[in-house]
């Protein structure tokens, strides 16, 4: 029977590839809500909606039932008479903006040297289509599952996941399942993800000052390492500018960091350049805010509260990735150390803030993090403003469901060396019960998700589909 559904899957290779091409050719970057002439509201824009309706149409053509939760999300479902449980596969059709630097059209779905190029090929349209055709192959092989099988189509995974809550309000959650939106062999845990601000009110400046920090800006998103940061300084005597420029050059030479100082009218602009990276992996980047704060800490501003805030940043945050000096250096055996990232910083006349993104270990809680930080803040004028806290998930590898997913990967690849991991990133698995991220990036393969020339190998695409077919069979047919 196993060979039957794998044979059916292989026979659908060209159809699978064509479905993916059609989907990739739809620009489904999330946009503002749009109201159609008939009054229909498309919460995430026409591009996302077009990709959604296309995939629902593919599902209906396969003979599956479909559902649209008021354009916030939906599903393609193999409804099994008498089945009590539902096996869910949660994937998403929205993609990140195409950006620049492509050598292939980001929405052309070009195929070259066994690869399909385009935004969404790897994240997450390719894995989604692989999962859909895996379900179809089992159906075409004449098997009857013991669970309903539901491919859930998310439409705003890249921009907040609010749509899935609207979907749940209509349909509820499946009983278990996976999301094909990470890596093989399996992600058996995801750290808790929290976002908060450290904020300090500043005294409004009056009169003529010797040296003032008028503003500082760095970063654009909490979950990214800032690649650039800028500060604007104003001095009562232009002589100071020459001295600060010399000190900036010396600082850059001593540290190896990129730092420049240039006159801009009556001000001096200090710019730091680091290396952008995902906030879950700050060690892969270099935080430009930390570079800039490090240099500003060598100067003395007339406003002591500004000096205090900069000193606190340098003493308790700096270039640390794990929150040791700010009281939250937590770690555990399953998931390792807490990850600490400053994603955004801003200082103006009234307020100094940094927006922090933390990924904390699976055996810890958000309160563990907050309690540690608040103890360090106790003797300062800095306050902590909570924004969000998505708790961790973890499934031991002895769990039968986790074991079935891992066995499906090993059965197809023969790879027994690569072990499942707990990651700092977040997927739809956090939104569901008994769901794990499962594929579709293979160990050692180049990862171009969210980058120019994103692609998926067509052979890997089919291998992914076979792995998913094994997993669905094990959980729904045995």
For 401, the 3-state DSSP assignment is helix
Nearest to 477 by CA among 121, 141, 225: 141
User: pLDDT at position 314, please?
Assistant: 98
User: pLDDT at position 220, please?
Assistant: 87
Q: How many CB atoms lie within 10 A of CB 205?
A: 17
Residues 349 and 242 in one domain: yes
Residues 118 and 207 in one domain: no
Q: Report the number of distinct structural domains present in the chain.
A: 2
Which residues partner with 66 through β-bridges? 76
Nearest-angstrom CA–CA distance, 202 and 347: 9
- Rounded to the nearest 5°, which phi and psi values hold at 466? -65, -40
**Residues near 292 by Cβ (< 8 Å), separated by ≥ 6?**
216, 218, 229, 230, 231, 259, 270, 271, 272
Which residues partner with 92 through β-bridges? 154
CATH code where residue 254 lies: 3.30.70.360
Residues 260 and 161 in one domain: no
H or E stretch at 475 = helix 458-476
CATH code where residue 417 lies: 3.40.630.10
User: pLDDT at position 248, please?
Assistant: 97
Residues 326 and 432 in one domain: no
CB 437 within 8 A of CB 105: no
Q: Decide: residue 459, CB within 10 A, 0-12 exposed, 13-18 middle, 19+ buried.
A: exposed
User: pLDDT at position 204, please?
Assistant: 59
For 193, the 3-state DSSP assignment is strand
- Rounded to the nearest 5°, which phi and psi values hold at 364? -110, 170
Pair of tokens at residue 234: 């104003």
Nearest to 345 by CA among 234, 204, 198, 173: 198
Pair of tokens at residue 312: 């606190």
Asked which of 372, 390, 408 is the last residue of a domain, the reply is: 390
* Residue 110 annotated in active site: no
Residues 117 and 17 in one domain: yes
Residues 285 and 323 in one domain: yes
Which residues partner with 78 through β-bridges? 149
Residues 75 and 108 in one domain: yes
> Average pLDDT by consecutive 10-residue portion of the chain (478 residues)?
86 98 97 96 98 98 98 98 97 93 97 97 97 98 97 94 95 97 96 97 72 94 92 90 96 97 94 92 95 97 94 98 97 96 95 97 97 97 95 95 98 97 91 95 93 95 98 96
CB 262 within 8 A of CB 268: yes
Half-sphere exposure of 127 (CA within 13 A, CB side): 27
pTM: 0.86
Asked which of 390, 417, 449 is the last residue of a domain, the reply is: 390
**Residues near 351 by Cβ (< 8 Å), separated by ≥ 6?**
199, 200, 201, 202
User: pLDDT at position 223, please?
Assistant: 85
The alpha-helical segments, DSSP class H, found in 332-433 are 366-377, 400-413
Residues 421 and 464 in one domain: yes
User: pLDDT at position 205, please?
Assistant: 59
Residues 379 and 401 in one domain: no
Pair of tokens at residue 7: 């044979």
User: pLDDT at position 206, please?
Assistant: 52
Q: Decide: residue 416, CB within 10 A, 0-12 exposed, 13-18 middle, 19+ buried.
A: exposed
* Residue 14 annotated in active site: no
Residues 152 and 279 in one domain: no
For 322, the 3-state DSSP assignment is coil
Residue-range definition of the domain harbouring residue 450: 2-190+393-476
Residues 202 and 168 in one domain: no
Pair of tokens at residue 391: 């708790």
User: pLDDT at position 50, please?
Assistant: 98
Asked which of 390, 408, 423 is the last residue of a domain, the reply is: 390
Q: Which of 157, 181, 190, 197 is catalytic?
A: 157
User: pLDDT at position 2, please?
Assistant: 61
Residues 269 and 350 in one domain: yes
User: pLDDT at position 208, please?
Assistant: 60
Q: Which of 77, 94, 123, 190 is catalytic?
A: 94
Pair of tokens at residue 276: 């952008």
Q: Which residue has the tokens 């891992």?
A: 406
User: pLDDT at position 181, please?
Assistant: 96
């Amino acid at each position: 029977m196993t060979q039957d559904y794998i044979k059916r899957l292989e026979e659908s290779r060209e159809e699978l590839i064509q479905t993916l091409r059609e989907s990739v050719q739809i620009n489904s970057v999330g946009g503002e809500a749009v109201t159609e002439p008939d009054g229909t509201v498309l919460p995430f824009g026409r591009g996302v909606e077009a990709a959604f309706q296309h995939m629902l149409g593919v599902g209906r053509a396969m003979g599956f039932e479909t559902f649209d939760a008021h354009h916030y999300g939906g599903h393609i479902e193999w409804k099994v008479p008498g089945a009590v449980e539902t096996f869910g596969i949660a994937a998403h059709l929205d993609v990140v903006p195409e950006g620049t630097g492509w050598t292939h059209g980001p929405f052309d779905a070009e195929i070259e040297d066994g690869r399909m190029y385009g935004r969404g090929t790897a994240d997450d349209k390719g894995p989604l289509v692989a999962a859909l055709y895996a379900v179809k192959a089992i159906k075409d092989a004449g098997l009857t599952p013991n669970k309903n099988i539901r491919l859930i189509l998310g439409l705003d995974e890249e921009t907040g996941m609010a749509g899935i809550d609207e979907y749940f309000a209509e349909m509820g959650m499946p009983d278990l399942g996976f999301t094909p939106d990470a890596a093989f062999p399996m992600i058996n845990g995801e750290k808790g993800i929290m976002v908060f601000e450290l904020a300090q009110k500043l005294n409004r400046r009056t009169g003529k000052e010797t040296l003032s920090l008028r503003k500082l800006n760095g970063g654009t998103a909490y979950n990214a390492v800032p690649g650039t940061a800028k500060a604007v300084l104003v001095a009562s005597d232009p002589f100071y500018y020459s001295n600060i420029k010399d000190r900036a050059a010396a600082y850059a030479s001593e540290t190896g960091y990129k730092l420049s100082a240039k006159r801009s009218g009556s001000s001096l602009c200090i710019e730091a350049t680091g290396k952008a990276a995902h906030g879950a992996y700050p060690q892969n980047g270099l935080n430009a805010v930390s570079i800039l704060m490090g240099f500003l800490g060598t100067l003395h501003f007339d406003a002591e509260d500004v000096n205090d805030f900069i000193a606190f940043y340098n003493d308790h945050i700096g270039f640390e990735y794990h929150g040791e000096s700010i009281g939250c250096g937590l770690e555990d055996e399953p998931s390792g150390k807490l990850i600490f990232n400053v994603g955004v910083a801003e200082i103006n006349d009234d307020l100094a803030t940094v927006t922090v993104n933390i990924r904390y270990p699976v055996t810890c809680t958000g309160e563990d993090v907050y309690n540690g930080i608040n103890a360090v803040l106790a003797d300062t004028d800095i306050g902590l403003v909570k924004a969000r806290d998505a708790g961790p998930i973890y499934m031991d590898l002895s769990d039968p469901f986790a074991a079935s997913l891992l066995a499906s990967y090993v059965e197809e690849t023969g790879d027994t060396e690569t072990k499942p991991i707990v990651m700092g990133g977040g997927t739809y698995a956090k939104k569901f019960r008994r769901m794990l991220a499962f594929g579709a990036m293979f160990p050692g393969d180049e990862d171009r998700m969210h980058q120019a020339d994103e692609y998926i190998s067509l052979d890997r695409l089919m291998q992914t589909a076979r792995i998913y077919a094994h997993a669905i069979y094990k959980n729904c047919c045995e």
